[in-house]
Structure 1
Amino acid sequence: MNILGCLDRMDSGSYILNGKDISNLKDDELAHIRNKEIGFVFQAFNLLPRMNILENVELPMVYAGVPARERKERALDALRKVGLEDRIKHKPNEISGGQKQRVAIARAIVNSPSVIMADEPTGNLDTRSTTEIINIFQNLNDDGKL
């Protein structure tokens, strides 16, 4: 997953993503590919504790240079898709594990990536939260987002 997600480099061979050979790209080019083409959902959520939910979802767009007004609109839309539009001012430590994972999913989809990479996205969740996360992924797939 680290190689497919452009987090680690390959020792040999080539890797074509959306018709582009990324095997020999520079670090800044790989960072751009990760930001635009790949959405990550980690088991550990990887939310920044000092930022509220909205800011956590906006973060990939900050790196992509998206203007503030558009960032907010797109982040709110992503949070609506995962059912958390009413929690935007909360910090990660103020929400449940299932809600943290939904924030991570919103952050992963906000740049409309070509690929979503999910590393055991339900591994730390209870049965109810797991079902919610699976349903979110199914709805995104039904909408053509995954």
Structure 2
Amino acid sequence: MNDLVGRPGYMAQEWLDPAQGEFTTGVYLGDDGDVKGTCTFRRQLRHGSTFIAERIIDLQLEQPLEDMARALGMKYLNIQSMRRGDKLIPFEFNGRLSGSTAMITRVFNAPEMFIRERLLGEKVDRIFNSDLFVAMRYYEEIYATPEQIAALKSRSADL
């Protein structure tokens, strides 16, 4: 591996044991720079997207992530991490609403908080929510002919 160090096109990254779990954490910062909501899920992925997310509450794991969010100063930050011992090791930061945002709204609603602060000029308080739950997604494809769609639209118009 040493012969690859410094060569363009290569990157070395610490290996983290996937058996320890992969996590996604959403952190919302108020306009005052204080954390207003944090939610962490241990997640299972399917094709790169969270399809099972188990809410965990562990301040020892979340505090360093909140500190990182404050330091980065991003309004909403989604942090992907893996566990090493008693710590979460971030490997990806997404400064945007993410695929797990809908699941996180069961704990705190970042889009609503943003609207309340930026558009309505309201002050938002920190949300402390201790609900434990598991969110599960499923994907289903439904096929219909153009005639079936037209018939559905016709029946719907009569309502």
Q: TM-score, normalised by structure 1?
A: 0.30
More strand by share: 2
Q: Which has more radius of gyration?
A: 2
| TM-score scaled by length of structure 2 | 0.28
Specify which structure has the higher proportion of helix.
1
Higher relative contact order (CA 8 A, sep 6+): 1
